[in-house]
Amino acid sequence: MKKIVYTLFLAGSFYYSANAQSSNQTKQDLPVSGTSLYKVGVGYGSSLYSNMETFEFVLNGGEKISLTAATPIVYFSQQLAAGQSYSITQVSGPRSCNLWGMNTGKIANADVLVSVDCGHPSLTTFKLNVRGIESGETFSFADNYNRTFRTAFSTLAGLGGFPVADHYTIIQTDGPRKCIITPSSGSVPDAPLTIQCDCRKTAGTDSTAAPAKLRGTFASPPGTKIILRLNSADSLVLAQPANASNLWVQTMNFSFPKSYPAGTEYNMSIKSAPANLGCVITENGTGRISESAPLVRVLCDKKIYEHVSRSTDNKIISTYYESFNAVIGGKGEDEGRFVAFGAYGKGMDGSSGNHRQIFWRDRKTGVTKLISKPVAGAEANGDCQMPAISADGKTVAFESYATNLTVNDNNGARDVYVWSEKTGTVNLVSMAQQGGTPNGESLEPTVSGDGTVIAYTSHASNIVTLGPVFSTPNVYVYQQGGGTDFISKDYETGKAAGGSSVPSISEDGTAIAFCGYTSRLVNGDNNNLWDIFLWQKAKAQLKRISLTATGGERNQGTESASRVVAPSISGNGKYVAFATTATNMVSGDNNNVQDVFVVSTETGAVVRASVDAAGKEGNNDCPIGQGEKVAISFDGTWTAFSVKATNLGVPENNIVLHNSIAGKTIAVTNITGSSVGVPAMSMAASYVIFGMGTKLDNRVPSSGIFTAFTNISGTRSN
């Protein structure tokens, strides 16, 4: 059969992933039996496509297809006979597409492919700074949009425009030696970027610097033996001493015996490891060797669940039904070492079991401490809950109804306290301006990586002076040694706008995401719904995060307009994850259930995380709880959440991990017929902690709080 193609000029078109649907043909649409049938399709003529966009079209008001970067040409499954009419209409997309009048007509004994012009999103200009090319040499490079560049001399070359928020990759395709490209991949920023390409024969070498060895730390259970490989050449055997008294892991330092010129590029991998362990490089697995380079971090652990809601002597076990709010901390070789949780814990480190208390456990030593108690040693005399742990695991903030954790606590409401492992003391964070406890309840703390900055929600009006007219609750930021201020401010007046809660803080304490139900936090908030906002220390105005992929306002979906939705900000402050039933966050959201979304704080790009490896949307709520908090890794690549959906690789009431870059979803738990709690995640996503209503650790015959070693490599590098 012949094909008719309407070729049109395209001013750069971009698109995302396909989602063809079956058509509904009426009786009069059906062709006469025995006649030839012809295809009708839509396609782009441009060679450059954005990975972040989808454009959808329908044929004769029925079947829907999507143009994407993966599918630049798509045909409808419905085929038509000569003389039959066709009409193609755009139904969604970040911009209107021009079909140049070719969207309607009649079939003329040939296939029809209509080429469309959908314009382009914002572009960022990239340059490639190539150096070190000597006379007679030629080097070639390419990007992930199939554009190539070839040069026989050192130059600063323009690579063209890249769609903002897309993932880019620059690779070397030819040349007499390997060049070091920095950064070779990443998210396209909204400002011009110059890629450094070092093609010198001694790439990156500083002639004034002494040769150096690659150094690192190795954490594993006692007696573990592994082999590391450096640049597919040098190998190093690491063997932990046997030490039966160590209940978790122990750490040793290592360095490869051979020295390399300073600046030498390296890639380290694990050549072999015990079959019963998972081993990953959590930090700095690639980089350049120098005396000042950050240490490589290697971690091995047992591929099992560990029950952590238990006493030091393992005699007191706290079940899932009496434990709650589990969190996990620890950095570097201590990744996932420290956990905190709430529990009644009768008999655990002196707890009477009369009130909910906060416990902290060192998984390396096996020590569990009751930390919600004053210096005198008596436990808190009221319920304590909602612990938040610092990235290093040494600080825990929590909320409490107790009256004996500070002097003169007579406000009859919850207050926020912080415990320090270094001092062993508990101190009041939500303090009134003139001292003492505030005149309203304070709750929902979140703590920075080193424990010095704490954000929390408060209904009080005397933590700082709130000039009239003000509203509550508000989000406050406490800086150790630097006072307290509120950040939920009216964008015009600077007054307390209220309606704000559940903050989440970045590792360095300079970025905070929170939920707000008020239209006064940013200009142009007209949807009359809850939204997620971002506070950045260096910026005067808040930024609204919960916008759609096209920058529009989110619709209500099936949820309450004033629902409280807990956001999670990544440790680097670049991504925020949250859950909503809104149907217009991304194109192709047709399941009418709660989904998990990850938003870039820099570009506003939106990715849906509650999908399977093929990108298929979940068939029920993710996470299970409405507005439930989603766990996120330091770099924002990984999210962990509970699922009510049954098509994401596990039954309902389980935990999954999703990688927003690779698009893969993997199971953390795979249990049938149990209840599951809200998960939290360690910095590099090596560990997930959660509660579950069944036994997972064969060494402890009880439900409770568990950690799971994910066997995932972190992406932090020097």
Note whether residue 715 is domain-resident: no
CB count within 10 Å of CB 620 equals 16
- Boundary of a domain, candidates 60, 86, 115: 115
In 3-state terms, what secondary structure has residue 418?
strand
Smallest Cα–Cα separation from 92: which of 709, 432, 538, 589?
A: 589
Mark whether 221 and 321 lie in a shared domain. Answer: no
Note whether residue 70 is domain-resident: yes
Smallest Cα–Cα separation from 686: which of 274, 328, 316?
A: 328
Query: What percentage of residues in the chain have a pLDDT greater than 90?
Result: 64
CATH number for 398:
2.120.10.30
Give pLDDT tens digits for 192-217.
888 888 887 765 555 556 788 999 99
pTM of the full structure: 0.71
Note whether residue 210 is domain-resident: no
Per-residue three-class SS string for 704-716: EEEEEECCCCCCE
Mark whether 20 and 93 lie in a shared domain. Answer: yes
Note whether residue 207 is domain-resident: no
DSSP 98: B
Mark whether 289 and 419 lie in a shared domain. Answer: no
The gap from C-alpha 401 to its chain's centroid, in whole angstroms, comes to 33
- For tokens 């620059």, name the residue: 170
pLDDT band at 310 (very low <50, low <70, confident <90, very high): very high
Looking at residue 630, what is its pLDDT? Answer: 98
- Of 9-18, 67-76, 271-280, 389-398, the least confident: 9-18
pLDDT band at 160 (very low <50, low <70, confident <90, very high): confident
Mark whether 54 and 178 lie in a shared domain. Answer: no
With beta carbons less than 8 A apart as the criterion, state whether 321 and 242 touch: no
Structure tokens at 656: 């999954």
Q: Where is 668: in which H helix or E strand?
A: none
Mark whether 334 and 258 lie in a shared domain. Answer: no
DSSP 467: P
CB neighbours of 117 closer than 8 A, spacing ≥ 6?
8, 9, 10, 11, 13, 97, 98, 100
Distances in whole angstroms, Cα of residue 413 to Cα of each of 156, 224, 383, 499, 696: 63, 50, 11, 19, 37
d(C-alpha 620, C-alpha 598), whole Å = 18
pLDDT band at 18 (very low <50, low <70, confident <90, very high): very low
Mark whether 560 and 516 lie in a shared domain. Answer: yes
Note whether residue 355 is domain-resident: yes
The answer, yes or no, to whether residue 13 has pLDDT greater than 50, is no
Looking at residue 669, what is its pLDDT? Answer: 96
With beta carbons less than 8 A apart as the criterion, state whether 456 and 478 touch: yes
Mark whether 542 and 456 lie in a shared domain. Answer: yes
Give every strand in the sheet of 395-400, ordered side by side. Answer: 384-389, 395-400, 415-420, 426-428
d(C-alpha 534, C-alpha 605), whole Å = 15
Mark whether 499 and 624 lie in a shared domain. Answer: yes
With beta carbons less than 8 A apart as the criterion, state whether 632 and 568 touch: yes
The gap from C-alpha 531 to its chain's centroid, in whole angstroms, comes to 18
Q: How many residues does the chain have?
A: 718
Note whether residue 139 is domain-resident: yes
Mark whether 236 and 168 lie in a shared domain. Answer: no
Mark whether 45 and 139 lie in a shared domain. Answer: no
d(C-alpha 576, C-alpha 594), whole Å = 16
- Boundary of a domain, candidates 73, 92, 115: 115
Domain carrying residue 288: 215-302
Count of the separate structural domains present in the chain:
4
Angle at 554 between CA 474 and CA 619, to 5 degrees: 110
Mark whether 509 and 587 lie in a shared domain. Answer: yes
Smallest Cα–Cα separation from 704: which of 683, 675, 682?
A: 675
Distances in whole angstroms, Cα of residue 290 to Cα of each of 202, 263, 338, 383, 714: 14, 6, 31, 51, 21
- Boundary of a domain, candidates 92, 115, 138: 115
Give pLDDT tens digits for 342-359.
999 999 999 999 999 999
Query: What percentage of residues in the chain have a pLDDT greater than 70?
Result: 92
Q: Where is 522: in which H helix or E strand?
A: none
The answer, yes or no, to whether residue 247 has pLDDT greater than 60, is no
Smallest Cα–Cα separation from 528: which of 536, 516, 540?
A: 516
pLDDT band at 664 (very low <50, low <70, confident <90, very high): confident
Mark whether 461 and 396 lie in a shared domain. Answer: yes
Note whether residue 717 is domain-resident: no
The gap from C-alpha 530 to its chain's centroid, in whole angstroms, comes to 21
pLDDT band at 712 (very low <50, low <70, confident <90, very high): confident
Note whether residue 205 is domain-resident: no
CB neighbours of 348 closer than 8 A, spacing ≥ 6?
310, 311, 316, 318, 359, 368, 370
